[in-house]
Chain A
Amino acid sequence: MVNFILLILIYTGVYALMAIGQNLITGYLGLLSLTQAGFFAIGSYVTAILTTTYGVNFWVSVPLAALLSGFFGLLIGLPTLRLKGDYLAIATLGFGEIVRNILNNWDKVTKGPMGIQRIPMVSIFGMKVSPYTKWGFLALVWVFVVVFYVIFERITQSRIGRAFEAIREDEIAASSMGINTTVYKVWGFVLGASVAGIAGSLQAVFILSVTPSVFTFMVSIMVLCMVVLGGMGNFLAVILGAFIIQFISYFPQLVGLSNVIPPQFKQVLFGLILVIMMIWRPQGILGRQTRGAPGLLRKGGER
């Protein structure tokens, strides 16, 4: 039982990292990205391939995972974010599927549907952090969450964050204030993608194997739900959202009803959460963080 709760908390941490990235993209920039799963997969495979085939240390693979995810973010972001409209959503939707397609088919590097096994455990100062004794791993994951929470919170509280919000509220007004909207949108998207890559690295050393079937569209939907449920534009709320969604996700096993409740049930529930939240509480459970004098800066109507 304790082990099970630790498991949920570890996954909350891994997904919270992705949700933090998604929140920057969706909550702050107001862009719909549907492919945290794709970047998650890229990060996982970077760590898996580097640590097994090339014997690279995990700690070296993490920044590389972030870099490669970010690079792919740049590749999708550049053509789509120059334009207004919702092309990012559809391009990212495709990207997630393509990544899985390539992981399944590029046998030489990714070993196809079988995936990569026997990923070495992480070690810190010579100490192994085994995923089987969950406390250590839990600490490792949450150190990452706290570090990125602080970094992203600082970014969004800065001038850059105000630029993001200006773009979200009115792109034309923002650009007439001298904000280079394309540059900010692309970098925001790239940052959001890189954290998902880092989450992937952690996932790889937690499961100690990677297979393409893990990185389905459902992962992206779960991350989106976490942001929408917690509250767009609020990093703490998003972490809370991550916990709630993971809890729902593991609830059938927790109460021993996993044989009774079909797996599609929770997925339908995730879809319902998106629709219901949008109609009745678009600001999420906790709502957006307001800065300065609350009330004064609020525009009419809920966001």
Chain B
Amino acid sequence: MGSSAEFFQHLVNGLTLGGIYALIALGYTMVYGILKFINFAHGDILMAGSYIGLFIYNAIRGQAIGAWTIVAFFIAMLAGMIFSAALGMAIEKIAYKPLRRATRLAPLLSAIGVSFILSNSAAWMWGTRSRKLEYPFHNTPIRIKGVSITPHQILILVVVVVTMIALKLFVDRSRIGKAMRATSLDQDTAKLMGIRSDKIITITFAIGSALAATAGFLIALEIKIYPSMGTMTGLKAFVAAVVGGIGNISGAMLGGILLGLLETFGVALLGIPYGLRDTIAFVALIIILLVKPEGLLGKVEKEKV
């Protein structure tokens, strides 16, 4: 394998991983944009959705590999998304909404609590062993000039790209998307313009959680899922959101993909030991906070009294 082939191989792997991070980062960034609040339970909502997707897929996929397995794959993914969306909305209503007028610290502590409840309930109900989706189809790598790409990776990239375009169109073009942008710009003024901000917040949580479930389901396909996965996965996605500029939707996409590439190339080229792979995201966070805290696409916000 030539070195340029090797490079493209890492590029493919990095893009796949980065696409997944980007999907999760979107949820953080959308919620932060509107409520200025880190939803610590986001990673655990992802975990819950991916488990539901996995269970449904295993129940309906049947034995033979064929066209139905692909259909079943998407049905299960959709089910996971709906479950997570409902979970996200419920959490917002029960644990965050009563605290909207409280101190800045209160919703954060509540979110940490929710995160801990979800991950431990999952461990309690479903056990702590890690699980993976059974292959939806033959996963023989396709080789193009020494670069191998698996059908799974193609599937992941397709899902990520389609989801991102859909979200971008929704936020930029639709009426609700416009209301979301207005709310994130200035909640009080948006209210005066007749936007029901509570409804917009609920929708934001639903969309963010559904995206997280999508990402979780893709993780179940390519890597593995376990009850405590939310912490590290969520942390990385949050770093991605900060790198891109928190509150900025395109930034989250960019940040996610950059982080995926950074992790893949960090291990492959810089010789960072695989066991310390998770450290890369953390170091990236510290560096971006030191150098450009508003993120790559974020704008500097003046502090106002």
The residue from B120, B273, B276, B286 contacting A91, defined by CB atoms under 8 A apart: B286
Min C-beta distance of B52 to chain A, whole Å? 19
Within 8 A of B (CB), among A224-267: 224, 228, 262, 264-265, 267
Q: State whether A272 touches B235 (Cβ < 8 A).
A: no
| In the complex, chain B residues whose CB is within 8 Å of the CB of A172 | 303, 305
The residue from A84, A87, A94, A274 contacting B110, defined by CB atoms under 8 A apart: A274
For chains A and B in complex, what number of residue pairs have CB atoms within 8 angstroms? 132
| In the complex, chain A residues whose CB is within 8 Å of the CB of B105 | 26, 30, 32
| In the complex, chain A residues whose CB is within 8 Å of the CB of B107 | 278
Q: Tell me the bound Cα distance from A277 to B105 in angstroms.
A: 12
Can you list, as one digit per residue, whether each of A270-298 has a CB less than 8 Å from chain B (1) or not (0)? 11111101110010000000000000000
**Nearest B-chain residue to A26, judged by Cβ:** B105
Given contacts A87-B242, A90-B238, A265-B124, are A271 and B117 in contact (CB under 8 A)? yes
Q: Give the total of A residues in contact with B, Cβ under 8 Å.
A: 48
Counting chain B residues whose Cβ lies within 8 A of the other chain, the interface size class is 35 or more
Can you list, as one digit per residue, whether each of A72-101 has a CB less than 8 Å from chain B (1) or not (0)? 000010011011111101110111011001
The residue from B115, B123, B235, B289 contacting A83, defined by CB atoms under 8 A apart: B289
Q: For the complex, is A34 an interface residue (Cβ under 8 Å from B)?
A: yes
| In the complex, chain A residues whose CB is within 8 Å of the CB of B276 | 101-102, 105
Q: For the complex, is B113 an interface residue (Cβ under 8 Å from A)?
A: yes
Q: For the complex, is B165 an interface residue (Cβ under 8 Å from A)?
A: no
Min C-beta distance of A290 to chain B, whole Å? 16
Q: For the complex, is B74 an interface residue (Cβ under 8 Å from A)?
A: no
Q: State whether A90 touches B120 (Cβ < 8 A).
A: no
Q: Tell me the bound Cα distance from A84 to B300 in angstroms.
A: 12
Q: For the complex, is B82 an interface residue (Cβ under 8 Å from A)?
A: no
Q: State whether B106 touches A275 (Cβ < 8 A).
A: no
Q: Tell me the bound Cα distance from A294 to B122 in angstroms.
A: 45
Within 8 A of A (CB), among B5-60: 36-38, 40
| In the complex, chain B residues whose CB is within 8 Å of the CB of A90 | 38, 235, 238-239, 242, 285
Q: For the complex, is A127 an interface residue (Cβ under 8 Å from B)?
A: no
**Nearest B-chain residue to A81, judged by Cβ:** B289
Q: State whether B116 touches A94 (Cβ < 8 A).
A: no
Q: For the complex, is B297 an interface residue (Cβ under 8 Å from A)?
A: no
Q: For the complex, is A184 an interface residue (Cβ under 8 Å from B)?
A: no
Given contacts A79-B289, A228-B109, are A94 and B120 in contact (CB under 8 A)? no
Q: For the complex, is A221 an interface residue (Cβ under 8 Å from B)?
A: yes
Q: For the complex, is A217 an interface residue (Cβ under 8 Å from B)?
A: yes
Q: State whether B110 touches A86 (Cβ < 8 A).
A: no
Given contacts A30-B104, A98-B278, are A272 and B109 in contact (CB under 8 A)? no
Q: State whether B282 touches A278 (Cβ < 8 A).
A: no
The residue from A79, A83, A278, A303 contacting B99, defined by CB atoms under 8 A apart: A278
Q: State whether B117 touches A268 (Cβ < 8 A).
A: yes
Q: State whether A105 touches B286 (Cβ < 8 A).
A: no
The residue from B38, B118, B239, B273 contacting A105, defined by CB atoms under 8 A apart: B273
Q: State whether B108 touches A279 (Cβ < 8 A).
A: no
Which secondary structure characterizes the binding site on chain A?
helix
**Nearest B-chain residue to A232, judged by Cβ:** B105
Among A30, A85, A278, chain B packs the most CB atoms within 10 A around the CB of A278
Q: For the complex, is A52 an interface residue (Cβ under 8 Å from B)?
A: no
The residue from A94, A271, A272 contacting B281, defined by CB atoms under 8 A apart: A94
Q: State whether A97 touches B232 (Cβ < 8 A).
A: yes
**Nearest B-chain residue to A94, judged by Cβ:** B282
Q: State whether A94 touches B285 (Cβ < 8 A).
A: yes
Q: State whether B109 touches A268 (Cβ < 8 A).
A: no
| In the complex, chain B residues whose CB is within 8 Å of the CB of A267 | 116, 120
Q: State whether A279 touches B278 (Cβ < 8 A).
A: no
Q: Tell me the bound Cα distance from A285 to B43 in angstroms.
A: 30
Q: State whether B116 touches A270 (Cβ < 8 A).
A: yes
**Nearest B-chain residue to A266, judged by Cβ:** B120
Q: For the complex, is A104 an interface residue (Cβ under 8 Å from B)?
A: yes
Min C-beta distance of B284 to chain A, whole Å? 10
Given contacts A87-B242, A101-B275, are A278 and B106 in contact (CB under 8 A)? yes
Q: State whether A274 touches B102 (Cβ < 8 A).
A: no
Q: For the complex, is B67 an interface residue (Cβ under 8 Å from A)?
A: no
The residue from B37, B112, B117 contacting A34, defined by CB atoms under 8 A apart: B112
| In the complex, chain A residues whose CB is within 8 Å of the CB of B95 | 275, 278-279
The residue from A91, A95, A218, A271 contacting B113, defined by CB atoms under 8 A apart: A271
| In the complex, chain A residues whose CB is within 8 Å of the CB of B305 | 172
Q: Tell me the bound Cα distance from A34 to B105 in angstroms.
A: 13
**Nearest B-chain residue to A100, judged by Cβ:** B278
Q: State whether B98 touches A279 (Cβ < 8 A).
A: yes
| In the complex, chain A residues whose CB is within 8 Å of the CB of B98 | 279
| In the complex, chain B residues whose CB is within 8 Å of the CB of A301 | 101
Q: Tell me the bound Cα distance from A274 to B276 in angstroms.
A: 31
**Nearest B-chain residue to A86, judged by Cβ:** B38
| 24 sample A-B contacts, Cβ–Cβ < 8 Å, listed by A number | A76-B286, A83-B289, A85-B36, A89-B40, A89-B108, A91-B282, A91-B285, A94-B282, A94-B285, A97-B231, A97-B232, A97-B282, A172-B303, A221-B116, A224-B109, A264-B124, A267-B116, A270-B116, A273-B113, A278-B99, A278-B113, A279-B99, A282-B102, A282-B103
If A32-B109, A274-B109, A279-B99 are given as contacts, then 16 extra A-B residue pairs at C-beta distance below 8 Å, sorted by A number, are: A30-B105, A32-B112, A82-B293, A83-B293, A85-B36, A86-B104, A91-B282, A93-B231, A97-B278, A104-B275, A268-B117, A270-B116, A271-B116, A278-B106, A278-B110, A301-B101
Q: Which 7 A-B pairs have the closest CB atoms?
A: A274-B113, A271-B116, A271-B117, A264-B124, A275-B113, A267-B120, A105-B275
